[in-house]
A = this chain, B = another copy of it.
Amino acid sequence: MAEEEKKKILIVVTHGPEDIDRTYAPMFMASIAASMEMDTSVFFMIKGPLLLDKKWQEEERKKGDNPFIRFFDMAKDNGVKMYVCIQSLKDMCHMREDQVISDVSIVGGSTLIDLTLDADRSLFF
């Protein structure tokens, strides 16, 4: 399907490891939307950036069996684009940019407004 005909879906993830149960569904939805040939993006904010911490992901991969990690990998394999809000990253999650895993765009909060306006539909979790 031509890129410009694809529906655009944005999924916003506001929870992190503090409430990991709430992170599985959005990542699963992102993975599904991408497999349905939609142009899919995920925006991590509030506590969501903690899910993108290199060390946290590494530990969870060692432990194994974290559904977030499984769906996250599926989403990436399906071509989902990942964005993280720099204000949430720094002020809310106390992370540095170099702690974020690769292939994630670190962007300002105003990008959420742009992504939402650009998307056909946005889902908030």
Contacts and interface: CB of A to CB of B under 8 A. Distances in A.
A112 B120 contact: no
Interface string A103-115: 0000001101100
A29 interface: yes
A69 interface: no
Contact of A125 (B21, B32, B124): B124
A73 B89 CA distance: 23
Contacts of A46: 21-22, 25, 125
Nearest to A47: B21
A9 interface: yes
A88 B24 CA distance: 9
A45 interface: yes
A16 B22 CA distance: 12
A121 B121 CA distance: 9
7 contacts: A24-B91, A25-B45, A25-B85, A25-B88, A29-B109, A29-B113, A112-B123
